[in-house]
Amino acid sequence: MSTATLTQPPRTASSVVRTVGILTIVGAVIGIVGGTVLAFVPPGPGAVEGTFAYPLDPAGHALAEASFILNHLLLGAGLLVATLSPEAGTRPGRLGGWIALAGMAALTVAEAWAIPLAGAAYPSDETAGIDVLYGVSSMLLGVGLVLLGIGIARAPRSPGAPRWHRWIVLVLGIMVFAVVTPGLMLGFTGGRLALVAWQVAWAAFGVAIVQAANRAGRR
């Protein structure tokens, strides 16, 4: 990408873009650590099986959800940079970016909603609404990332940019349907590991943003 994103941001914007890239990497690392902990740490003594918070107790659940909110906000910053990229300037590509941002925003709302549901029976009527919101937000993210990724992949590659830079957003979108969704169907641990794999791809996306800013800064 270029001016505001992954390939060649102007020098005056390169420091801002670099910071966004670093924040995107930080957000991804938060997601990787959080997903790994949830996948392998045994239930705490205050965790109640059959509740929405399980395998965490309410305090641990609130902390986890707060980390997920931070993760979504930081990843959303990187996604905004990609959406404003000239390479996303075709109508489907840029529209896809805004759709993905709407999905990320909805996912953030879902994480906040999840905090007071810690003690609710799961599944139950009380948690049905948040399940719908998780599903809708994930589909918006997936569809939006695919559209944005196609727009970026079709754009001319910036001189000096690694080939994988132009594909990373499309990979993020495809992974929603090919990795994350099937993983969640495998159960709690499988779902967490699928999300960890997705977060690794988000970290690569952040690296691409940082490298783009570094190239611009050397000009």
Q: Looking at residue 148, what is its pLDDT?
A: 97
Tens of pLDDT, residue by residue over 61-85, are 999 999 999 999 999 999 999 999 8
Tokens of 104: 């990320």
Residue-wise DSSP of 41-54: SPPPTT--TTBTTT
Question: For residue 121, what are the β-bridge partners?
Answer: 51
Is 10's pLDDT higher than 80? no
> What's this model's pTM, rounded to 2 decimal places?
0.93
Is 12's pLDDT higher than 90? no
Q: Looking at residue 219, what is its pLDDT?
A: 61
Q: What is the rounded distance in angstroms from the CA atom of residue 204 to the CA atom of residue 212? A: 12
- Tokens 């549901």 correspond to 117
Interval 151-180 mean pLDDT: 92
Interval 84-90 mean pLDDT: 78
Query: Residue 79: which of 130, 27, 36 has the closest Cα?
Result: 27
